[in-house]
Amino acid sequence: MVDSHLNVMQAVAAGIKAMPRVGTAFAATQAAWRFFRNPKVTLPELVEPLREAGRQGCQESNSDCVLVASDWSKLDYDGHVNKHDLTQLTQKLDRGYELATALLIDAENGAPLAPMALSVLCSRGMYTTESDKPKRRIGHLEQILPWMKQSRTWGLAKRPVFVIDREADSVLHFRKWDAAGHLFLVRVDDRLVNFRGVSQKILSVVAALRAEGRFKAHGEVAIRGGKGTQWVAEVDVIMDQPAWPSKNGKTTRVRGRPLPVRLVVVQVRDDQGAVMAEWLLLTNVFNVSALQVATWYYWRWRIESFHQLLKSSGLEVEEWLQESALAITKRLLVGCMACVTVWQLAREATEEAVACQKFLVRLSGRQTKRSRPITAPAMLCGMHMLLTMLDVLETHTIEQLKAYAAIAIPWRRTGGILV
């Protein structure tokens, strides 16, 4: 099953790929159908190989921490009339599933290690990697604390830091996560904080830091097709404002304990000093440099690339024809194993591994940038071609293959050119 997903798929052919050793493509499809419908094949069992891969990658890292990037992605199944558990996602006509992922990332070099938890939202509720029975639908931020608690059962050798985008900008949740002993790093908007005993907006704090010369330059970075210089500053602030959670359309005021956090500001400036881009980060991690915090947040983008690998640049999950969210979730976990296989190879730096990476990209026939010659989609494609070649060589002789080539491509035998 994993072999069949070691391939970049096309939207018009996103089904299970039949290897040459399988009798027919229909046989492969039937085998997959039975596998995904088998009640003995459970989500907790399917996620365990992924977690073992995450544990291994975590063990090999030299960092004291490991990152867990959390994000959500819509799975659009418009026109899939046989999926009867689609749910409304945004507006009335927007129906599909929603994928939530907790992706483990090496805090030393930003390499993706493995998705440690998944959930798929449908009309029946949420299918998670903890049970085959759907759970009650909850909001995005309410899913984070259960993942944090689960992370203590994953057997990780490093302490996890949960890295989340601006959707997690919530003082109520910051206080809950910190009180439970979990580490977080979140991008925030211009909110109120207590700085030097005065309640003020973060951008006012940023202006004070720049006026005091607290920003430090950390080299040139690429941005929007151009280049700029990265500047980083940090300061301790206190979140002492009340939270304003909304429930059933009503907003309530909730006081909480003052929470000391670290504000890390990242700016990219042009040659004239104008700010081209800016990130405001809050974290309760105090024992690493501000530049490391900024780099950790930059590596959060790995989860965006992972979702893209599952969708348009890889496995084409939005074209899968499984008829239920449970079957889609099971197949997603199998597809994730294929992604992890490629990531494991990409992390290898030995001479043999690098040669293998280049060979797979060349075998795929895909074009890559000079600045990034090895990509996961290219290696996925090359991996499937390699497996196919090995399968063929086990069942056919070189003479048979040459005979088939002479029949299928006659101009190769004659030296002629097809016009």
d(CA 121, CA 99): 7
Residues 37-46: tens digit of each pLDDT: 788 889 999 9
Q: Is 111 helix (H, G, I), strand (E, B) or coil?
A: coil
Tell me the C-alpha to C-alpha distance, in Å, between residue 85 and each of 21, 98, 121, 131, 376.
Answer: 35, 12, 9, 18, 32
pLDDT at 28: 62
Q: Is 363 helix (H, G, I), strand (E, B) or coil?
A: helix
d(CA 264, CA 286): 11
Give the position of tokens 């059933």.
248
Domain borders along the chain are 2-189+283-346, 356-409
The amino acid that residue 399 corresponds to is: E
Token duo for residue 144: 């984070």
pLDDT at 2: 64
Confidence (pTM):
0.90
d(CA 264, CA 261): 10
- What letter does residue 416 receive in the DSSP assignment? -
The amino acid that residue 294 corresponds to is: A
Least confident of 144-153, 318-327, 347-356, 406-415: 406-415
d(CA 197, CA 64): 33
Tell me the C-alpha to C-alpha distance, in Å, between residue 72 and each of 168, 353, 419.
Answer: 12, 33, 50
Residues 131-184: tens digit of each pLDDT: 989 999 999 999 999 999 999 999 999 999 999 999 999 999 999 999 999 999
Burial class of residue 21 in the structure, from the number of CB atoms within 10 Å of its CB (0-12 exposed, 13-18 middle, 19+ buried): middle
Token duo for residue 333: 């976990």
Please, what CATH class does the domain formed by 2-189+283-346 belong to? alpha beta
